[in-house]
Structures are given as structure tokens and as C-alpha cells.
Amino acid sequence: MGDVRMVSDPHASESRKRVVIDHLEAYNLGVTGLTAYSPVNFFLHDDGDEIVGGLLGAIWGGVLHVRFLWVAESLRGQGHGRRLLAAAEERASERGCRYVYLESFTFQAPGFYEKLGYEMFARAEDWPVGHAHCFLRKTLPDAP
């Protein structure tokens, strides 16, 4: 291999990012032997079929990692976030998961998750500056 150069690409295409993701995932699968991967995506649609909320995550290694949970501001406090999370947790239980992990900033909803049985296991202060990044986990009731 000749010279290796580094290139900054803030607007990298999905295919370029996929190269890095695919290689890291191949390594992880090779080391752990855990090959079962399942995306978990649920969406809320209004009468006009517009997306007004959703949950994006993935199951791998006996764990559901919720990457994003969002509900339109006008719909918050009506149980939609709880419904999305419950559906994802049910899917995870069906697939034999033991835990759900997620992250929330202090200006988002860590208290919401704690009310639903999540416990904060780590907190990174000043991420972003003036706030904290919270890491939460929940043991699923039907965990094997």
C-alpha cells in the first residue's frame, strides 16, 4: 500500500459512509459471532399521511438501541412517545432482547424515559456545553 491520505468530507454520500459502516460491522460480527441484526422503525402519520413522529433503532447482540425518538411538538404529552417506545420494546422482547439502550440530552426527555422504567447509567457533562448527554438503559421484563 502506498501513501495514505486523509480527506475531510462533511457531506459524504451515503455510499461512502456505508464503506466504513460495513467494514466495522463485519469486524464486529466476526469477533462476536452475533449475526442477527434487525432495524426497528416505527412512524406516526397524521390524516394527510405526513410523518409527525417516529422511533428509529436497531436490534443487535440481544439489545435494542433506540437511536432517535421524536414526536411533533403539538402532539407531545398525549402518549404517542410512550406508544412508540412500547412498540419497539415489544419487538425487542419478541426477538429475545434483554436490554434497551438510548440516549437523551438534558434539554430533551431523560425524565420521560425514567418514568417508563429506564435508569441513567452514565451522564457526560457539557455535551453540548451547558447541558449533559444522558445514557439510559432498561431491562426488558421478559428478558431471557
Secondary structure in 3-state letters for the chain = CCCCCCCCCCCCCHHHHHHHHHHHHHHHHHHHCCCCEEEEEEEEECCCCCEEEEEEEEEECCEEEEEEEEECHHHCCCCHHHHHHHHHHHHHHHCCCCEEEEEEECCCCHHHHHHCCCEEEEEEECCCCCCEEEEEEEECCCCC
Confidence at 144, pLDDT banded by 50, 70, 90: low
The answer, as to whether pTM is greater than 0.75, is yes
Half-sphere exposure of 139 (CA within 13 A, CB side): 4
Confidence at 143, pLDDT banded by 50, 70, 90: low
Confidence at 2, pLDDT banded by 50, 70, 90: confident
pLDDT at 122 over 90: yes
Confidence at 43, pLDDT banded by 50, 70, 90: very high
Query: What is the average pLDDT score of the chain?
Result: 95
Q: Respond yes or no on whether the N-terminal peptide bond of residue 128 is cis (omega within 30° of 0).
A: yes
Residue corresponding to grid cell 460480527: 29
pLDDT at 140 over 90: yes
Q: Which class is 36-139 in CATH? A: alpha beta
Q: Where are the domains of the chain?
A: 36-139
Which of 96, 40, 38, 106 is closest to 67 using CA atoms?
40
